[in-house]
Structure 1
Amino acid sequence: MVRAGPPSSGTSRPGSKRLARTRRSTSREPMRVLITGAAGFIGSAVVRRLRERGDEVIALVRDARRASGPAGPTEYGATIVEDDLSAVDRLTEILRDAKPDAAIHAAGSYRIGIRKDERGAMWDANVGTTTRLLDAAEAAATKRIVYVSTVNVFGNTHGVIADEAYRRNLAEGFVSWYDETKYGAHEVAEQRIAGGAPIVIAMPGTVIGPGDLSQIGAQLSGAHDGHLAYVASADMGITPIHVDDEVMGIVAVLDRGQVGRSYVLAGDCIRLGDALALAAAAGGRKPPWLRVPNALLRAMTPLGGLIGQANAHEIVAASAGVTYWASSQRATDELDFRARDAENAIRDTFGPA
């Protein structure tokens, strides 16, 4: 099902303070959870939350040195296992040795505008690792698996707000290689569900917060600090959600999500230009006044290599006029999930101005 999207400017519920909330069990036994991508932006925050509530965490990381950095899983007391997720046999061995109550697959690669010679690596990072992890989980008889997908699986929603029943029009193609690889990984998870695998899928929106190194995160930071000279793809539709709220949602999916179901965990549906204006306001600054028209962006894509963007065409195709809007209503209804509004999510990304 879909709902009509919001107007082209403005945020939902401006000024309201709405923090992530999920039902609290009166008593619970600590869990033993294995998580991939544990040194990443979302993964490390999941590790922190699980450790805060007393769970034992086995953190799979590609490089143990990253795990020991600030806000890394080592700091939170997780058990570190170094593995690049390249071999099913090794993953099966890790899962059998760890005997987790559940596994969270949060590893992956997110970047828009990659070169063609980088596509194979991204396909493996998103589709390959998902396939191998699920193969290993089946071999090790892992009891519960949370796969961290994305609302990008819906593709361009063309101004409507999708829910979990939404299906993209594949005839339109994919707007980016990231889009295609995450769709492929999501399909792998759904095929395994159809075969009886105990998988629940979390679908994050546009996750922001301290430590966000994404392209959107860089733009928000530039607007906040007054360094962003212009706004491109101002009409791009995003769903900014603070990483702490996202983590509360993923943990709720882990605890109470129904096997076989997907849960969108997203924030307000707004435009990128409005998000940048909120970031500028949080920094006590005016938003960039210059907005580059989409037609000009498309005309300039052949010059991308001259300005350090090897695949500017993909960057524009994945942003100009594209909406990645989705509703968290199912997670609200079934998991009592709430996230703070866009204004507070962006403000809390930077702290006091």
Structure 2
Amino acid sequence: MTRVLVTGGSGFIGQYLVPALAARGREVRVLDLRAPARAKPEVTYVQGSVLDRELVDDALRGVEEVYHLAGLPGMWMPQKSDFHAVNCRGTEVVIAAARKRGITRFLHCSTESILFRPPPSEDAVGDDATLSADDMPGPYTRSKLLAEQLAAQAAAAGFPLVIACPTMPIGPHDHYLTPPAAMLRHFLGRRFQFYLDFVVNLVDVRDVAAGLVLAMERGQVGHRYILGGESIPLKTILRLMAEASGHRGVLLPVPRRLAQLAATILEFTADHVTHRPPSATIEGVRIALRATALSIKKAQSELGYTPQTVEPALRETISDLLGAGASGVNRRYSTRNDAFET
């Protein structure tokens, strides 16, 4: 029986990936700072951070494969340096320990937020997109790009590592409100919906979990695979949300410059006054302004990745947010150096 470690396995993607691995006969161990919302009796849970070198090394004992999902998501933290500490240095710790242990296969989970082409190109961005840290729109994306570069360097040095880039996963039971769910919840029930229209690639979280397994089993070492669904304008998503929820708001598009100004004010207030997550950030607006369609052709042709249409998952997410799940505490912005899922 293959023993697998999933870092960040208590997170949104992890709660679908972990049972999928167990169903395939894997002996699964999870390393996360928090306990899962729904623990599986056949899974071993290790509580702790990917920044704890000794704990990571011990968690890797007897492990053959690693799914590295741990990281700080979102676009705001009270201490911006936390992004680099967890996303970049945490990745460095896990990869170093895995190489020392002689892990036979390693999957690094990156993010679509680092995939874009500078204007004026309007082509769909593929798995070969390459940008530098200086091109990134803020500390979150910079930390994720640097982490991916560490992964790519390890693969180039002969470590059997594959990179997967989920887009924006949605689905039920997002207990801690990952950024996609937080975005949808922001608009739910609002009479006046001020929005910056941009292309959003939504994907069913169950398809992401299946894609991660495929990337681990079939992906070429050192290659990146985009695990996405459908690229849809936000305006279209808001209309679908209105149909699914029965709450129809007035759609009010916001000009780019106004969106940037509002985000600047909101983030400044969060940083220096409220110390609570703002409803918009400068980095988030910059990502939106650069967003474009993403191509999943490589994952389809090389992995056999077959995502379903995203509308059923969107309806499930809306139903979940309107129900008991919408009252959950959003812990994405803990002030600790937590290793949460991407």
TM-score normalised to the size of structure 1? 0.80
* Structure 1 equivalent of residue 331 of structure 2: none
2:160 partner letter:
P
Q: Offset at 1:270?
A: 1.6
* Structure 2 equivalent of residue 131 of structure 1: 92
Tell me, yes or no, if structure 1 residue 57 matches structure 2 residue 28. yes
- Residue 106 to residue 271, structure 1, CA distance change in 2 (3 Å): same
**237-246 vs 340-349, which moves further:** 340-349
Q: Partner of 2:230: helix, strand, or coil?
A: coil
Cα shift readout 1:195-247 (whole Å, capped 9, x = no counterpart): 00010111101111123313432232354x4236313222x222100111110
Show structure 1 runs of 5+ residues with no match.
1-29
CA contact (8 A) 2:133 2:146 kept: no
CA contact (8 A) 1:155 1:174 kept: no
Q: Distance in 1 between matches of 2:162 and 2:117?
A: 24
Q: Offset at 1:286?
A: 2.7
CA contact (8 A) 2:5 2:59 kept: no
* Structure 1 equivalent of residue 5 of structure 2: 34
RMSD between superposed Cα atoms in Å: 2.4
Q: Distance in 2 between matches of 1:170 and 1:85?
A: 22
Tell me, yes or no, if structure 1 residue 267 matches structure 2 residue 232. no
Show structure 2 runs of 5+ residues with no match.
323-342
* Structure 1 equivalent of residue 181 of structure 2: 217
Q: Offset at 1:126?
A: 0.4
Tell me, yes or no, if structure 1 residue 150 matches structure 2 residue 89. no
* Structure 2 equivalent of residue 24 of structure 1: none
CA contact (8 A) 1:61 1:82 kept: yes
* Structure 2 equivalent of residue 27 of structure 1: none
Tell me, yes or no, if structure 1 residue 327 matches structure 2 residue 292. no
Q: Offset at 1:351?
A: 5.0
Cα shift readout 1:116-140 (whole Å, capped 9, x = no counterpart): xx12211111001110000000111
- Pick aligned residue for 1:203 from 165, 168, 172: 165
2:260 partner letter:
R
Q: Distance in 2 between matches of 1:326 and 1:257?
A: 19
Cα shift readout 1:226-279 (whole Å, capped 9, x = no counterpart): 236313222x22210011111010111122222222111011112222222222
Q: Partner of 1:160: helix, strand, or coil?
A: coil
Q: Distance in 1 between matches of 2:32 and 2:280?
A: 29
Q: Distance in 2 between matches of 1:322 and 1:245?
A: 25
Q: Distance in 1 between matches of 2:64 and 2:261?
A: 52
Determine what percentage of the aligned residue pairs are the same residue.
Answer: 27
1:81 partner letter:
V
Q: Offset at 1:184?
A: 0.5
* Structure 2 equivalent of residue 79 of structure 1: 44
Tell me, yes or no, if structure 1 residue 316 matches structure 2 residue 285. yes
1:92-111 matched pairs, under 5 angstroms = 92-96=57-61, 99-111=62-74
Q: Offset at 1:185?
A: 0.4
CA contact (8 A) 2:8 2:71 kept: yes
1:322 partner letter:
R
Cα shift readout 1:62-94 (whole Å, capped 9, x = no counterpart): 13xx23x3x3xx235310112212233432232
Q: Distance in 1 between matches of 2:264 and 2:224?
A: 39
2:229 partner letter:
G
Q: Partner of 2:6: helix, strand, or coil?
A: strand
Q: Offset at 1:349?
A: 2.5
Q: Distance in 1 between matches of 2:59 and 2:265?
A: 47
- Pick aligned residue for 1:246 from 201, 208, 220: 208
1:94 partner letter:
A
2:195 partner letter:
A
Q: Partner of 1:81: helix, strand, or coil?
A: strand
